[in-house]
Amino acid sequence: MNKQKKKIEQHDEELLEEEIMPETRLPEELTGKKEVIDTVFEEDKVIATEKAEQLYEPGYYGKLFENRLELALAESCLLLKRGRIRVLRDGKPVKFDELFTHATSLDKRFPERYRVYEDLRERGLLVRTGFKFGCDFRVYERGVQLKKGPKTSKEHTKWIVFAVSEDFTCSFQELSRAVRLAHNIRARMLWAIVDNEGDVTYYQITRHKP
């Protein structure tokens, strides 16, 4: 019985990996040479006022306003690491390690959250903040374009993601709330576990009625 259960669990994990793992390719924002855009570092975000649209699309980074683009620190770290932006503070460049350390001082879970965000982006997925849903990230299928108004089923959030370290613990009540949240918005719930080597493993947890 235990052997059969292990085979089912292994099969489910393989199906999930096939579903969220794209073919080996560079994300579309890395294809071709891109201009490095200057941004300004603030306490908990990075702001672009020039050429903001070039950063926002096609990867849909940050929150676009009429006269600026506000990038979260996870987005800023990734774009800085990829050479897409130059982050300035008091006119001086901020290095990746400095920005990462500052973000970690504001949020002790930032290393895990950033690693999961980076991994999802490397898989070519569209990733947005999950703040309004009480999770770390909401993730869309490949090829989806963000838009307001009515959406097709494919254009809705496909996964909500919680990023945790490998030694994280929680109660069954907390886990149940997370699964119910995903169910209520017709999404799937992913538990993204970051081990001590920085590898990310995804577990999809679903709700079943007897």
Tens place of pLDDT for every residue, the chain, 210 residues?
445 444 444 544 444 555 555 444 445 455 556 789 999 999 899 999 988 998 898 789 999 998 999 999 999 999 999 999 999 999 999 999 999 999 999 999 999 999 999 999 999 999 999 988 889 999 998 877 776 656 666 678 899 999 999 999 888 788 888 888 888 888 899 999 999 999 999 999 887 777
CATH 3.40.1350.10 is the classification of domain 1-26+109-210: yes
CA-CA-CA-CA torsion sign (2, 19, 84, 105): negative
Place of tokens 């999930």: 16
Assigned CATH topology for domain 34-107 = MutS, DNA mismatch repair protein, domain I (3.40.1170)
Torsion, Cα of 192, 167, 129, 132 (10° steps): 110
Q: Where are the domains of the chain?
A: 1-26+109-210, 34-107
User: Pairing between strand 37-41 and 159-165?
Assistant: unpaired
1-26+109-210 and 34-107 agree in CATH topology = no
CA-to-CA distance for 206 and 115, rounded, in angstroms? Answer: 24
